[in-house]
Structure 1
Amino acid sequence: MERVWRKAKKALGAGLCVHLPTIAGDREDGASERRASDAHSLDSSAAAAAVHASAPNTPAAESGALRRSKSGGKSSKRMCAICFDSMKPGHGQALFTAECSHMFHFHCISSNVKHGNHVCPVCRAKWKEIPFNRSFSSIVSRGRGGLNVNPARLPQQDAYMALLHQVPNHQREAPVLHTSEPVDFNDDEPLQKMEAADSCDVGSSRAVEIKTYPEFSAIPQSSSQYDFAVLIHLKAPYANPEQVTGRPVNATSFGYPTSRAPVDLVTVLDVSGSMAGTKLALLKRAMGFVIQHLGPSDRLSVIAFSSTARRLFHLRRMSHSGRQQALQAVNSLSAGGGTNIADALKKAAKVIEDRSYQNPVCSIILLSDGQDTYNIPSNVRGAWPDYRSLVPSSILNHTFCLVPVHGFGFGVDHDSDALHSIAEASGGTFSFIEDECVIQDAFAQCIGGLLSVVVQDMQLNVECVHSGVQLRSIKSGSYLSKVAGNGRNGSIDVGHLYADEERDFLLSVSIPCCHEQTSLLKVACTYRDPLTIEAIKIQGDEVNILRSKSAKSDPVCMEVDRERNRVRAADAIEAARAAAERGALSDAVAILEDCRMILSESFSSRSGDRLCMALDAELKEMQERMANRQRYEASGRAYLLSGLSSHSWQRATTRGDSTDSATLVYSYQTPSMVQMLQRSQNHYPSPQGPSQVEQPRPFLAKPQPR
């Protein structure tokens, strides 16, 4: 026997106990007996609860590798092969069933594998999935697929596991996956009826703020300006106080007011073979957090894809029972196969198109750790193929961002070009998850925004007032803008805004010589309140400048100079990316260095502006990630694309695994995002501590107009 243990210790590996054992009594018909068994399991088997709750259903292993030995009689007789004690269910000891069907006391086998014994003590079958006494504390510090696993970031207590454990055992053993999908996905659950008190008008008292900042408050009378800058600053209505209190939400209290617009959310999850092990377990945990924080008026559908895509369940309201069923379905996921992103997006689009009922807010979350091997030939990768072809036409961003796809690239092997292009085409953002432990934080930040949409179908209109003033251009990033042929007016399609979200647009106008105050522009916006469906129009103040007799100009407006620097940095990132894709990494680094030099000489930088400092840190981080081709391919490209996505939409994204050198990531956060991120991080300790969550837009805050 000693020789057997010695050989077992050589079978090193890392994994996670993901098998859900079948325990006699779980299938008992009496409801009272089931409740008693579940209660006893909660009280006396805390370790088993943590393991069982996070466990997917383990696929059947190859029969050749898992032959039962003649010595398996003790296990079959409900005796632990390690301590030779009884293993009767319900006797206060957690049980573990291995892939080879042999059962042991959980504390016996977890202690056994802790010392490197990763083979069955009975039949000597090598295990791929190993039980650990603490859910994630023993995972190795380097995950599969080149992902970093920081043990200090791994959770000690898991609300997702606690939620899943509330699902009765007999339900966990019978997944709710649709074995055959209907032709039409019009089987979505009806919307929740709103009470009279809930349907009150909460939007009319809150309106979008419009502020304007001319580059100079006064210019000489004799001076004409061909490229005079005007900044338009928008701020969305504030969030409901209940949404930013930070009040904890658990499985039995939804904790969210009905005075926000409910959401239809479709999550599209990669479960290809490369997601096996730690990555899939952390994805399930992140989905558990999402399910936990959706309210009873929100609806969720999950698409899982590998070589093909399948809908796990229809759009279902996240009531108490809906959450349990959603957790059950997510828990049943297992990894295997290739990566077919296009098929998954088609299925997600079909879920949205075929809806019989529609919540006012709708979005798609797409996560993948690989490259689409079915729709993009490998010989055109890197040659900038048309990734928009992967996006169904029904969710393309033709005018407003009605169904944005928020893409999440997971690890070093994902196709960041494809995910960024998909997000860009649909009006969504692209996030780069370099450290696999922050996947839950990334999802939390995203849904923190989606659960606070207060503006939809917003259009900003600009009209010249003085007859000699002409609108020349609009710097609007990825937002569609247009200028009339005569230069007298223009517009920007802003789409939807989260609560407290801000947008800045830089306009260029030409100004003639004039001896009196000149009225430049009139600014107005129209939008729809997603909760009340009320159409709202806001008229901003006219933009005026004084005309002085002195030839000396006033100092440049800090807000205008700050925004000009942000736009300049975004343009430099785009140019550096183009150079890197041509193979000219040295040119790309030089472009970023030139931009850093220009920023350092700007008026706002010399005044100690924190945004300039953050931009410089961001550009420096990008330079370091372009030091050589290997590092650029591994993380530089994804980091640049996520930065471009954040700047072009002026919306927070997750980038890399560093918070020190990429502080601008947090400059677009809203209070709702911050609160949701704090809830996620409160699930487990962080090495950086609370400082990891910054206050929203600390660098872009605008002072009162002068």
Structure 2
Amino acid sequence: MAPAWDRAKRALATMLCIRFPARQRAGGEDGAVETPPPPPPHAVSVRRVSTSGSRGSKKVCAICLGGIRTGGQALFTAECSHEFHFHCISSSVNHGNYICPVCRAEWKEIPFQGTQPADNAYGRSRVSPVNWPQDEGQMSVVRRLSRGYSGNLQEQLAVFRTPETSIFNDDENIDLQSETAGEHNAVTGSVEIKTYSEFPAIQQSVRQQVFSILIHLKAPKYLDSMSSRAPLDLVTVLDVSGSMSGIKLALLKRAMSFVIQTLGPNDRLSVIAFSSTARRLFPLRRMTLTGRQQALQAISSLVASGGTNIAEGLKKGAKVVEDRRLKNSVCSIILLSDGQDTHTFLSSDEAEINYSTFVPPSILPGTGHHVQIHTFGFGTDHDSAAMHAIAEISNGTFSFIDAEGSIQDAFAQCIGGLLSVVVKDMRLCIKCIDEGVSLTSIKSGSYASQVARNERSGSVDIGDLYADEERGFLITLHVPAAQGQTVLIKPTCTYLDAITMENIQLNGEEVTIQRPAYCVDCEMSPEVEREWHRAQTTEDMSAARSAAEDGFFPQAVSILESRRRILEFHAAQSSDSQFLALIKELREMQDRVESRQRYEESGRAYMLSGLSSHSWQRATARGDSTELTTLIHTYQTPSMVDMLQRSQTILPSVVEMLNPSPTVTPPKYFSSHLPTSRHIA
């Protein structure tokens, strides 16, 4: 009976492409070893390596870079002869990767782990006879595609994927009593409020119709931002459509590996990959050592194919945020795409596309689940108008990644800010004091602001601030004639401490001006003048962009040039660094809007990222000019600069990625976690 069962089991193993080691036949006359027949050509094998076998082998798994013959792990040998840890490659297949990460061969036989479909067209269901080893290597089987394989591998293998849940409430637990909540001394001081009057005095007989005051806010700084900070929930929504194939996808994987390595054990990450459809690679998971390894493995499995469905990707990302059981104090979504949406708007007949349909209503400002979406337009073919609109609607920023090699730097700068949030839900309130003083306007950029009907008060909703981040808001007042002195306004701030979640109320000093009979040598405040020119420059950038959209490129150039000449005049007198930075930026914009071709290639995206930066007073990535990067990012914070320097220290060159050498090893920072460039899909 036993020999018959052995023969049946070997036959079944051959059909399922499962290899078994030789076995001593019981009761044999000569103690011979019964050896199973050799596998068919190109057969796929799954086996368990003995813990004593081949310890000196230098083979590594191309996905995790772990030793290929260590610790008795199940191995998978593909039909192209490359070997991988079974748990690595089965996870890779489950994430949609059906080609060899090493040689790019397209597989017709794949590993599968989990419930099998009963459809005979895709092979038989899993069989687990008595006495078969019940471990990861043998309980998992290899499935062969039907003989009628037509080349649409994605469709044929879709049935093998693990069904995705409809509710994303499987986020990993967080430690609500973590040490970061008890070390408030990691943040020094509170938000600073400073005010600058346009002039120190107004003649007593003069009624000033427009009098400007700059309200300047600065967030506190960290003593040690690495050991104590507000933990982050980050959802990355990544475009893996067909246009992302090749070097783009390789660089995206490197950038995401940097993000994963940068996040701490109290931070959580979830990744959504989208093309024609969207799929969550893994739920919100803490970036512990294990969490990082699993996240890196999932990122390594990404392949590029299909169309671009941005709305579906954001829908999945929003659901991760909305369905969380527990919440870290800081949460954000990062969206990257390199192409036009091919699913949401199929007709271009509409005069103006409503991009708000991209953003799920559940995460918009004013809802209980509101999060900022920081968008990244990658390359020259992305829809910069859509990406800018998505960011603007959600109070996030839009960055333009012109050069492929700068994607990691762009991510690093954004992460440097998100990992240093010290203030949440900030609101600035302004109250007029003396009779006759009225508030006429607030220049707040993209921040929501309002002036009361009686013009005696106003407010600005600021939201989150990074450590050391600054904001300036220019307000205008009507000031009546008076004697002695006039008390104009009193500013106050309310916000949540991002670490302790304590409510803070901060009272600024009252702003007063003198009212002499005559004013002599009253000079305008340089702080107010600087902010006024920045606001005017932003408005001119917006006007130039509108002219370019209407096809009036000479007019767009003229608007930018006129503002640049004004700034050059003032810079010659004061040598102000902000004036110099704006001049450089305006000159770059002029060059990118001089023709329709230039504007559509990079001008639109460059201008929109600049408008995003100035309207939110927050650093964004723009273009590919290294010189410009150092000059125009006046909104960079120390934590952003530090993260950017870390990225540039370990960033592999684009030349290395395009022309990998067999002897090249990955940067030391990633040496134990990331495949070398020749292994990246």
Find the counterpart in structure 2 of residue 527 from structure 1. 495
AA aligned to 1:647 is H
- How far the C-alpha of 1:606 sits from its partner, in A, is 2.1
From the superposition, tell whether residues 339 and 347 of structure 1 become closer, same or farther in structure 2 (CA, over 3 Å): same
Q: Distance in 1 between matches of 2:609 and 2:63?
A: 36
Find the counterpart in structure 2 of residue 454 from structure 1. 422
Q: Distance in 1 between matches of 2:493 and 2:161?
A: 45
Q: Give yes or no for the alignment of 1:365 onto 2:344.
A: no
The DSSP-based 3-state class of the residue aligned with 1:531 is coil
Correspondent of 1:656 among 623, 634, 639: 623
Find the counterpart in structure 2 of residue 647 from structure 1. 614
Q: Distance in 2 between matches of 1:420 and 1:470?
A: 35
Conserved? CA contact 1:202–1:532, under 8 Å:
no
Q: Distance in 2 between matches of 1:184 and 1:301?
A: 14
The DSSP-based 3-state class of the residue aligned with 2:504 is strand
Q: Give yes or no for the alignment of 1:223 onto 2:192.
A: no
Q: Distance in 2 between matches of 1:452 and 1:205?
A: 13
Find the counterpart in structure 2 of residue 315 from structure 1. 284
Find the counterpart in structure 1 of residue 444 from structure 2. 476
Q: Distance in 2 between matches of 1:600 and 1:643?
A: 19
Conserved? CA contact 2:235–2:317, under 8 Å:
yes
AA aligned to 1:608 is S
Q: Distance in 1 between matches of 2:453 and 2:362?
A: 30
Q: Give yes or no for the alignment of 1:183 onto 2:150.
A: no
AA aligned to 1:469 is V
Q: Distance in 2 between matches of 1:27 and 1:653?
A: 50
Q: Distance in 2 between matches of 1:618 and 1:399?
A: 36
Find the counterpart in structure 2 of residue 85 from structure 1. none
The 5 Å alignment of 1:39-188 reads 41=58, 101=80, 179-188=162-171
- Give the stretch that moved more between structures: 177-186 or 614-623: 177-186
- How far the C-alpha of 1:595 sits from its partner, in A, is 1.4
Q: Distance in 2 between matches of 1:54 and 1:659?
A: 34
Find the counterpart in structure 2 of residue 669 from structure 1. 636
Correspondent of 1:353 among 322, 329, 350: 322
Conserved? CA contact 2:494–2:506, under 8 Å:
yes
Q: Distance in 2 between matches of 1:31 and 1:240?
A: 48
Q: Give yes or no for the alignment of 1:280 onto 2:300.
A: no
Conserved? CA contact 1:618–1:663, under 8 Å:
no
Q: Give yes or no for the alignment of 1:516 onto 2:484.
A: yes
Q: Distance in 1 between matches of 2:446 and 2:341?
A: 25
The 5 Å alignment of 1:320-399 reads 320-380=289-349, 383-398=351-366
Segments of structure 2 that go 5 or more residues without pairing to the other structure are: 1-41, 71-75, 84-98, 105-135, 143-159, 655-681
Q: Distance in 2 between matches of 1:515 and 1:195?
A: 57
- How far the C-alpha of 1:200 sits from its partner, in A, is 4.1
From the superposition, tell whether residues 196 and 131 of structure 1 become closer, same or farther in structure 2 (CA, over 3 Å): closer
AA aligned to 2:644 is L
Find the counterpart in structure 1 of residue 546 from structure 2. 578
AA aligned to 1:279 is K
Correspondent of 1:682 among 649, 653, 657: 649
Q: C-alpha offsets along residues 372-415 of structure 1, whole Å, 9 cap, x if unaligned?
A: 1111234248x441101110001122389940000000000000
Q: C-alpha offsets along residues 222-253 of structure 1, whole Å, 9 cap, x if unaligned?
A: 22211111000000010232x2xxxxxxxxxx
The DSSP-based 3-state class of the residue aligned with 2:326 is coil
Q: Please report the TM-score for the alignment, with normalisation by the length of structure 1.
A: 0.72
Correspondent of 2:593 among 595, 618, 626: 626
Conserved? CA contact 2:240–2:274, under 8 Å:
yes
Conserved? CA contact 2:44–2:78, under 8 Å:
no
Conserved? CA contact 2:63–2:101, under 8 Å:
no
Conserved? CA contact 2:413–2:641, under 8 Å:
yes
- How far the C-alpha of 1:519 sits from its partner, in A, is 1.0
Q: Distance in 2 between matches of 1:399 and 1:103?
A: 50
Total equivalences in the alignment: 543
Conserved? CA contact 2:82–2:102, under 8 Å:
no
Correspondent of 2:584 among 617, 629, 644: 617
Q: C-alpha offsets along residues 516-559 of structure 1, whole Å, 9 cap, x if unaligned?
A: 11111100000001221100001111111122232434111110
The DSSP-based 3-state class of the residue aligned with 1:218 is coil
Q: Distance in 2 between matches of 1:515 and 1:561?
A: 26
- How far the C-alpha of 1:666 sits from its partner, in A, is 1.8
Conserved? CA contact 1:270–1:367, under 8 Å:
yes
From the superposition, tell whether residues 322 and 470 of structure 1 become closer, same or farther in structure 2 (CA, over 3 Å): same
AA aligned to 2:80 is S
Q: Distance in 1 between matches of 2:194 and 2:53?
A: 65
Q: Give yes or no for the alignment of 1:549 onto 2:517.
A: yes
From the superposition, tell whether residues 582 and 212 of structure 1 become closer, same or farther in structure 2 (CA, over 3 Å): same
Segments of structure 1 that go 5 or more residues without pairing to the other structure are: 1-21, 56-88, 92-96, 105-126, 133-167, 244-255, 688-706
- How far the C-alpha of 1:669 sits from its partner, in A, is 0.6
Identity %: 55
From the superposition, tell whether residues 25 and 262 of structure 1 become closer, same or farther in structure 2 (CA, over 3 Å): farther
AA aligned to 1:516 is G
Q: C-alpha offsets along residues 629-684 of structure 1, whole Å, 9 cap, x if unaligned?
A: 11100000000000000001000000000132454542111111111111100104
The DSSP-based 3-state class of the residue aligned with 2:48 is coil
Find the counterpart in structure 2 of residue 206 from structure 1. 189
Q: C-alpha offsets along residues 45-90 of structure 1, whole Å, 9 cap, x if unaligned?
A: 7xx78x76699xxxxxxxxxxxxxxxxxxxxxxxxxxxxxxxxx87
Task: Please report the RMSD computed on the Cα atoms of aligned residues, expressed in angstroms.
Answer: 3.3
Find the counterpart in structure 2 of residue 263 from structure 1. 232
The DSSP-based 3-state class of the residue aligned with 1:213 is strand
Conserved? CA contact 1:614–1:663, under 8 Å:
no
From the superposition, tell whether residues 512 and 321 of structure 1 become closer, same or farther in structure 2 (CA, over 3 Å): same
AA aligned to 1:570 is T
Conserved? CA contact 1:399–1:480, under 8 Å:
no
Find the counterpart in structure 2 of residue 138 from structure 1. none
Find the counterpart in structure 2 of residue 497 from structure 1. 465
- How far the C-alpha of 1:446 sits from its partner, in A, is 0.5
Q: Distance in 1 between matches of 2:405 and 2:516?
A: 59
Conserved? CA contact 1:516–1:547, under 8 Å:
yes
Find the counterpart in structure 2 of residue 157 from structure 1. none
Conserved? CA contact 1:434–1:656, under 8 Å:
yes
The DSSP-based 3-state class of the residue aligned with 1:656 is coil
The DSSP-based 3-state class of the residue aligned with 1:655 is coil
The DSSP-based 3-state class of the residue aligned with 1:616 is helix
Find the counterpart in structure 2 of residue 433 from structure 1. 401
Q: Give yes or no for the alignment of 1:28 onto 2:48.
A: yes
Conserved? CA contact 2:187–2:220, under 8 Å:
no
Conserved? CA contact 2:44–2:77, under 8 Å:
no
From the superposition, tell whether residues 220 and 264 of structure 1 become closer, same or farther in structure 2 (CA, over 3 Å): same
- How far the C-alpha of 1:597 sits from its partner, in A, is 2.5
Conserved? CA contact 1:226–1:511, under 8 Å:
yes
The DSSP-based 3-state class of the residue aligned with 2:348 is helix
AA aligned to 1:334 is V
From the superposition, tell whether residues 466 and 627 of structure 1 become closer, same or farther in structure 2 (CA, over 3 Å): same
Conserved? CA contact 1:445–1:677, under 8 Å:
yes
Q: Please report the TM-score for the alignment, with normalisation by the length of structure 2.
A: 0.74
- Give the stretch that moved more between structures: 622-631 or 663-672: 663-672
AA aligned to 1:240 is L
- How far the C-alpha of 1:99 sits from its partner, in A, is 9.8
From the superposition, tell whether residues 208 and 544 of structure 1 become closer, same or farther in structure 2 (CA, over 3 Å): same
Q: Distance in 2 between matches of 1:54 and 1:307?
A: 31
The DSSP-based 3-state class of the residue aligned with 2:202 is strand
From the superposition, tell whether residues 103 and 333 of structure 1 become closer, same or farther in structure 2 (CA, over 3 Å): closer
- How far the C-alpha of 1:29 sits from its partner, in A, is 4.8
Conserved? CA contact 1:622–1:639, under 8 Å:
yes
Whose Rg is larger? 2
The DSSP-based 3-state class of the residue aligned with 1:570 is helix
